[in-house]
């Protein structure tokens, strides 16, 4: 399984499965890391393998979604490849929802109690369809892969901060140490 992150400005990169924070545990910064960014994302779980998927068929490759955020190392001029592989940096609200509830929105990210991101109500399944089409032009998808689409700008976080994910019916705090 891999996590494919589609950037807001275009392009994509991969994160290995060791970056998944399964239990929404607190995050302990590795030595030398002093600044992180919390990037709001919407995720989907791939249910069908594919390559070179056309937009009109992309809906066959996923059936649910979840919200989350990515914690990326931004200390100085961090090497993006190394930062993407840091353990437990993909925080995913593991309550998968059916696509029919997607337009409801209700997702937010707070840092130390201050709102840094609030999902627009206009999010639709086309964000995943476009992402799958773009990614599969160059890479294959396998069953179990996760596609994460960045939703907004990153919020800077550092040791001592608390990142809160708010989703309908759930609130998760991740303390940064």
Q: Rounded to the nearest 5°, which phi and psi values hold at 15?
A: -125, 135
Q: pTM value?
A: 0.90
Cα–Cα distances in Å, from 155 out to 69, 109, 166? 10, 9, 15
The span from the CA of 45 to the CA of 38, in Å, is: 21
Query: pLDDT tens across 55-97, in order?
Result: 999 999 999 998 999 998 876 545 555 556 788 889 987 778 8
Domain at 92, CATH number: 3.90.850.10
Cα–Cα distances in Å, from 56 out to 126, 128, 130, 135? 10, 12, 10, 15
Instruction: Convert 28-51 to b/e letters by CB count within 10 Å (16 or more is b).
Output: ebeeebeebbbbbbbbbbbeeebe
What's residue 33's pLDDT? 84
What's residue 9's pLDDT? 85
Full residue range of the structural domain in which residue 151 is found:
2-175
Which residue has better confidence, 123 or 5? 5
What's residue 119's pLDDT? 84
Number of domains the chain contains? 1
Query: Which of 23, 38, 35 shows the shortest CA–CA distance to 115?
Result: 38
């Amino acid at each position: 399984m891999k996590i494919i992150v589609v950037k807001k400005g275009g392009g994509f990169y991969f994160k290995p499965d060791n970056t998944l924070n399964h239990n929404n545990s607190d995050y302990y910064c590795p030595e030398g890391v002093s600044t992180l960014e919390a990037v709001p994302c919407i995720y989907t779980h791939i249910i069908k393998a594919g390559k070179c998927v056309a937009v009109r068929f992309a809906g066959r490759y996923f059936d649910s979604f979840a919200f989350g955020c990515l914690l990326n190392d931004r200390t100085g001029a961090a090497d993006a490849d190394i930062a993407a592989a840091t353990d437990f940096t993909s925080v995913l609200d593991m309550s998968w929802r059916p696509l029919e509830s997607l337009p409801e929105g209700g997702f937010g990210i707070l840092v130390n109690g201050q709102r840094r991101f609030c999902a627009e109500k206009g999010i639709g399944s086309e964000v995943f369809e476009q992402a799958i089409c773009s990614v599969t032009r160059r890479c294959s998808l396998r069953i179990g892969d996760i596609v994460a689409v960045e939703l907004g700008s990153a919020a800077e976080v550092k040791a001592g901060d608390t990142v809160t994910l708010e989703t309908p019916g759930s609130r998760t705090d991740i303390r940064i140490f």
